[in-house]
Structure 1
């Protein structure tokens, strides 16, 4: 198999195409080049949402939804667990490194719970909290930070930065958002209370409405470059397949079609919401990031990505383990790079790399004026 472009360069090119459409021709010839990227003037990256972006904020919370223990971080520099829900770096780490900002995107809340020093946070920081979502009930059930509280942390940082410094950074920074998967998995499909209160379409509308409000808050605080990830093919996640088997054995051979169809419906509504938001928000560039298509393609054609296993995670049995159940007391696979999932929900570093390659090849992050 031909080597894939690095995650950092691929996703970075997507960002450049998003914020600077004319840059496509200039950088397309060398997707792995990282020199001279500071010329595109992206001074910081701010991340909000759930465990796909959380680089360690939950370490400071009294919650079981944590990844600050082995075997998480097995492929991370030094092999140390940091609170990232994967075997290695997350997407945002590669982005800030390729931009020449810094090597890793730090969590805003350290283990002590204190906010990161201003000088370090002003060049980008992660506010995301694993287990969080767009419905506050999701975060409350997990004992983690709500999306609104993540925005409160951002406001706190802006106050500490001061008006002059904040205005220089925020308007040009990239704001990355990934949320909604936990709402569907943990608060709708798993708990009967969610389904008893809302139909599927009503719950989608609730989530999209809440997200619209949060994006508006970002915009009001100065954000202009906002990238929002859609839902993945939820019905292909190992945990969802296992839960389906517990309800009605045996475990499905393929993905759960109804849950994937629901994710596609949500993503359609998300795209329409972002287009509407941008049309009434001067200077805003609000772009939908499709993660559904590349992840489903990995499930359907694993060999194309170098994967030998796409139905279970690398940690333990791969069927249920995640967070507190994925520990150094359970075995892990020999080659995480051949697994699509690290635990029963979260991708491996190899999966993030392949998703970024899809972003590049399809130009889905290109911004159209």
Structure 2
């Protein structure tokens, strides 16, 4: 009886969250004509499907909870935060990848994702993975503007770009792949120095986007690195459940980076240019899910749903590594990426705390 009651309570809460997100778009939310997304796998809706890289999520079991159970290239069991937030804003239901060969004129008008799973601000981060570094995503944005000009005319294209919500979500791979795991940057920088290096790249990106007409930015911080299942596995002497704890040193690095990013966003906001920049805190919502799993219906927060949950991600999460039976009970879908339930919690945080600041 207790188990049944819990299941009903969680299902009701989840239903309420979906209704809440959609109802918020009606009046209290700011209005954007489009969404433009730059970053990594947290916001890549399928661009990696169309480039030569092993970092793809276009195969089973990815997309198991997506409408139609389609493996779209999203690194999750379902939708990502840009999809959920864009739907809540009433722009459209899903954010398409810019590189999709069948991208329609209407999709161009309402926005796309330029993001690439495995990407980062540092070009060295993507050398081995052969994905699209964030600075190179700007080249696709240039192409986007040219195509948009042809569809709606230069004047209307400029209005779309200036009014669009620009989402930037990257940085984790720079630390996970290119600092903790590879020696090159670690030989050049201490952690604080590398954080400043990455933030310099981010500042350059925002300035170039400003120069190209963008004015409204939602800039995401990084998650608690040390709580990602793959990082816990890398630091664990053994892999018993009782020994799996977050790596506090890496979480401290993430907190320091985020505090610097908050200051940078405030500095850029105060510099003017008619822009609005909002910092998105994703660290705290994820840590709350880790520390208080029962609030969200989770029973596992230290392993992913796919396979063993210890290492599987991307090409290693496949038909040979079947997923858990109930992904909604897992914070993480694979060893790196949250599942759709967690992304919906973060989306609610965006709706509650970040988007209203565009009205002030």
TM-score by length of 2: 0.90
- Answering whether residue 17 of structure 2 is matched by residue 6 of structure 1, we say yes
2:109 corresponds in structure 1 to 122
What are the within-5 Å matches in structure 2 for residues 1-369 of structure 1? Answer: 1=9, 3-4=13-14, 5-6=16-17, 9-10=20-21, 32-33=22-23, 36=26, 40-110=30-100, 114=101, 116-162=103-149, 163-245=154-236, 248-249=237-238, 252-360=243-351, 363-367=353-357
Q: Unpaired segments of 5 or more residues in structure 2?
A: 1-8
Rounded Cα–Cα distance in structure 2 between residues aligned with 1:256 and 1:54: 26
The number of residues matched between the two structures is 342
Rounded Cα–Cα distance in structure 2 between residues aligned with 1:227 and 1:54: 16
More helix by share: 2
Rounded Cα–Cα distance in structure 2 between residues aligned with 1:38 and 1:295: 25
Rounded Cα–Cα distance in structure 2 between residues aligned with 1:82 and 1:277: 35
Are 1:72 and 1:86, in contact at CA under 8 Å, matched by a contact in 2?
Answer: yes
Rounded Cα–Cα distance in structure 2 between residues aligned with 1:103 and 1:304: 27
User: What RMSD over aligned residues (CA atoms) do the two structures have, in Å?
Assistant: 2.0
Q: CA deviation at 1:98?
A: 2.7
Rounded Cα–Cα distance in structure 2 between residues aligned with 1:228 and 1:8: 26
Rounded Cα–Cα distance in structure 1 between residues aligned with 2:89 and 2:350: 17
Are 1:8 and 1:95, in contact at CA under 8 Å, matched by a contact in 2?
Answer: no
Are 2:31 and 2:89, in contact at CA under 8 Å, matched by a contact in 1?
Answer: no
Rounded Cα–Cα distance in structure 1 between residues aligned with 2:217 and 2:354: 14
Rounded Cα–Cα distance in structure 2 between residues aligned with 1:236 and 1:39: 32
Task: Give the number of the structure with larger relative contact order, counting CA–CA contacts within 8 Å between residues 6 or more apart.
Answer: 1
Rounded Cα–Cα distance in structure 1 between residues aligned with 2:323 and 2:173: 24
Are 1:59 and 1:66, in contact at CA under 8 Å, matched by a contact in 2?
Answer: yes
Q: State which drifts further: 317-326 or 349-358.
A: 349-358
Q: Unpaired segments of 5 or more residues in structure 1?
A: 11-31
Q: CA deviation at 1:367?
A: 2.5
